[in-house]
Amino acid sequence: MVSVVLFSHDATLQSLLSSALGNEFDFILEPNEDEIDRLLSAESCSVIILDLNSSLDNLRERLDVARRIIRSKAASIVMADDGLRTAATELVRQGAYGYCRRPPSIRDLRTMLRRAHESSSLKERLDAQQREATGDRNRMVGSSWQMRQLYELVDSVADNGASVLVTGESGTGKELVARAIHSRGARANRPFVAVACGAIPETLIEAELFGHEKGAFTGTVGSREGYFEQAADGTLFLDEIGELSPYTQVKLLRVLQQREFSRLGSNRLIPLRARLIFATHRDLDELVAEGKFRQDLYYRINVMHIETPALQEHAEDIPQIASYFLRHYADMYQKPVSEFEPETLAMLQGYSWPGNVRELENVIQRAIIVARGRTIRVEDLPMHIREEAVSNIEDFLPDGSFERQLRDYKIRLAATAIRENNGSKTLAARKLRISRSYLHRLIRNAEPEPLYERHARAVGE
């Protein structure tokens, strides 16, 4: 049975929910915020329903208590009538799981309670797995649908030796995915060797990858193991694989086909024992079409494919990721910063993040350095983030729910970009600076008569 705390003074509402939702949920009416704190610290409840219309007499006090409960990371559902819809929506942006109208639709509330409980339980399991499998600094963070899909893919490939290709925009954590695959598999106690192919000069990359013997080329003093040997029975992670020259691509293809290699200046064959994981932010399909990347090599490295989502595709994870960086860098710089102002988190979620998680990490690090006191304020954020948030607010239309307007606006942008690029979704995604998979999801998630088609038709007229 799922334990649900109803933070409210309305005993009638508790009776209604208890009788309507049956034996699946155990409702506890609790009007006292101190008792809520005790329940949270004891982890005695699965989900909290925040009744904005009943908890306290003063609306500002009600909202302050709700924000504090949300910051505790409890799975929270906000319940409010239409007069408080704007306030409820803002609480969802600040981290509440969802919002339901008061009085609620029993069917919708049952679904939301189930999903909130499942999300909370899954997050706890994933956090435990991540703490166990990886060091605190190198773990993936997030509990959104996109991140849950990513975790499942990582788990599905961790224990086999197949090659994996990790794609995604710069700053989305491709190396973290590779490390997670390594640490969750049978090779976890073996070496993990990461190589940034784009950072090695073309004249040296063959020697760096395969090693060399003394005198193999001018300037060599002694023999040296390459990255393939250093990885041994562990994992070799080749990042920026799309930057390899045609010559190096041929050498790599032969190694993958023969499962053996030799050092420069030697004829001794060395078996390839390491598992290989590749990553790139470039579109390899496009490079293959342009003749810049070998098709046969592409098939060799793309046995299993994992795409890391852009941060804007799972913006609901931003508070959790930001809090993770907050704890890390506050400890690093020995500063007493421990939380964000609600307005700061809302502004972080409203920003587009072209640099993805890496940019968010940089912003949090900077904010901690300049922060005064225990709280990250709006003023601690870079000016360009504040300016973009103000611009978004000016463009906001009051009719309809925030989520629907945001979705429709994105679909209109996608439809216009597709039309302007003669139906090419690849070119449209590039123009919008989003991933192709995100563009496809926007189109796929449109309403029964696809919303993007209606918008495209309207633009055409």
**Lowest-confidence range among 9-23, 363-377, 431-445?**
431-445
Task: Report the top-level CATH class of 139-307.
Answer: alpha beta
Half-sphere exposure of 113 (CA within 13 A, CB side): 28
Which has more confidence, 460 or 352?
A: 352
Task: Report the top-level CATH class of 2-121.
Answer: alpha beta
pLDDT of residue 459: 42
Reply yes or no on whether the pLDDT at 421 is more than 80.
yes
pLDDT of residue 125: 65
pLDDT for 364-414, tens place per residue? 999 999 999 899 999 999 988 887 765 554 444 445 556 556 667 777 788
Reply yes or no on whether the pLDDT at 451 is more than 50.
no
Q: Are strands 235-239 and 192-196 parallel, antiparallel or unpaired?
A: parallel
Peptide bond into 103 cis (omega under 30): yes
User: 358 exposed, middle or buried (CB, 10 Å; 0-12, 13-18, 19+)?
Assistant: middle
pLDDT for 68-87, tens place per residue? 787 766 788 988 888 888 88
Instruction: Quote the tokens at residue 266.
Output: 């030697």
Q: Which CATH number among 1.10.8.60, 3.40.50.300, 3.30.1950.10, 2.20.25.10 corresponds to the domain 311-372?
A: 1.10.8.60
Which has more confidence, 350 or 287?
A: 287
Reply yes or no on whether the pLDDT at 460 is more than 50.
no
**What pTM was computed for the model?**
0.59
Q: In what order do the strands lie in the sheet with 304-307?
A: 192-196, 235-239, 275-280, 164-167, 304-307
Residue for token pair 């299993």: 304
pLDDT for 96-115, tens place per residue? 888 888 888 888 888 888 88
